[in-house]
Amino acid sequence: MRLIARLYNFGVHASKRMWKIVALCCGAALLGAACDAPPVQLQPTALPAAGSAAIQVFFTRPQDPDDPSRHTNGVDQYVIAAIGAAATSVDIAAYDINLQSVTDALLAAKLRGVQVRVVTDTDNLGRSPIAQLRSVGIPVTGDGRSALMHDKFIVVDGIIMFTGSWNPTDNDTWRNNNNLVRITAAPILQNYIVEFAEMLQPAGFGPRSPATTPFASTAIDGVLVETYFSPEDGVAAQILDELRSAQRTVHFMAFSFTRQDFADVLLERAAAGVAVSGVFEKRLLNENGRKVFERLQTAGVPVLVDGNRYTMHHKVFVIDAATVVTGSYNFSASAEDSNDENVIIVHGTALAGLFETEFDEVWARAARSAVP
């Protein structure tokens, strides 16, 4: 392990390639039992990491049609449990907040003396839950821009965080396909603590936001984890680098996919023999999204329109069943150039395997929907 650490600390771009090889070779063997007790697993699948850190992923299970009487055991329970155990602080950055269970947990935390702070998109400041939070003195900051504050992360006591495609809303919890990633790795948490602090400053949003991520690439028990924020970190270039590295498979689930440069690389890899396939959210197949969809389809790449009558909200690439790209970042120009977004890239076969299973389920649902 000391040799691995030295190779990582070498700090050159080539070390990233070496870490990919390490992740591919070690995979689940490096991801054993977590030393912190995981929450009760009622419906999602969890991935504990070895040692003092953990990465777990939870997936929503949309019902068709939605039935409010069955709104139990949702992914929100893990967030609520963490907020309920908070001793000092809860910081939440979310595009939208209207889920009453999370609102109630935040109110209760504030009333027992926990510092609660919220950052959200200005367009959603009029929500009733926001008014409830403000009524007890919880500061709520909007980005004050036409572009989106589209981040999705929650940091509790500086020791537990959540991110992924999930907003704390009714739709994202019960109707939409989403992933929620729970992390207890200190370097990754520090990245998000710094980013949240930036958004409380006058120049904290959009292109003016400084690139100050302290641990953009870090090894968590031998697994490379990368953290990026847009617009400041050039996220598209990082994702393109991962896509170009694909040797066997690329699977994607895309709420919004309008970037032609991503399509370019997918077509290049498909021409090289890589098995590329993906699912597009049907509501976002507008002019630019349809261009990408039809371009891939015409080239023989298997693509489907999602089968969820509500929304397929993932923003995910799974590469070679070994690397996962996920977060708030849609595959669009606005996500790269103007919105505030967050992305993690995890190089490890165990986590990737869970996302592969989710992809299989989303693909199967889309395939059933496509049958006349």
Return the pLDDT at 220: 87
pLDDT at 304 over 60: yes
Between CA 33 and CA 72 the distance in angstroms is 27
Q: Residue 277 above 60 pLDDT? A: yes
Q: Which residue ranges form the domains of the chain, and what is each CATH number?
A: 40-208 (3.30.870.10), 217-370 (3.30.870.10)
User: DSSP of 133-165, one letter per residue?
Assistant: HHHTT--EEE--SSS-B--EEEEETTTEEEEES
pTM of the model: 0.87
Residue-wise pLDDT tens digits, 241-275: 999 999 999 999 999 999 999 999 999 999 999 99
* Contact by Cβ (8 Å): 298, 227: no
Report whether pLDDT(26) > 60: no
The neighbour count for residue 152, using CB atoms within 10 Å, is: 26
Q: What percent of the chain has pLDDT over 70?
A: 85
Note the Cα 1 to chain centre separation in Å: 29
Are 169 and 98 in contact, with CB atoms under 8 Å apart?
yes
Strands 303-305, 311-312: pairing is unpaired
Rounded to 5°, angle at Cα 263 from 260 and 267: 140
**pLDDT beyond 50 at 39:** no
What band does 23 get if pLDDT is binned at 50, 70 and 90?
A: very low
- Of the listed ranges 12-26, 227-241, 268-282, the least confidently predicted one is 12-26
Is residue 11 scored above 60 in pLDDT? Answer: no
Query: What's the whole-number average pLDDT of the chain?
Result: 88
CA–CA dist 187, 198 (Å, integer): 17
Say if residue 357's pLDDT is above 60: yes
Distance (Å) of CA 66 to CA 12, 61, 136, 311: 49, 10, 33, 12
| Residue percentage of the chain with pLDDT more than 90 | 81
pLDDT at 165 over 90: yes
pLDDT, position 38: 38
Find where tokens 């992933």 sit: 179
Residue 29 has pLDDT above 80, yes or no: no
pLDDT band at 21 (very low <50, low <70, confident <90, very high): very low
Q: pLDDT at position 203, please?
A: 87
pLDDT at residue 221 in the model: 78
pLDDT per residue over 72-98, tens digit each?
Answer: 999 999 999 999 999 999 999 999 999
What pLDDT shows up at residue 92? 98
Which pLDDT value is given to residue 99?
97
pLDDT interval class at 287 (50, 70, 90): confident
16 confidence band (pLDDT: 50, 70, 90): low
Alpha helices in the chain (DSSP H): 2-9, 13-26, 76-84, 100-111, 128-135, 170, 186-199, 235-244, 260-271, 287-298, 333-337, 349-370
pLDDT of residue 371: 78
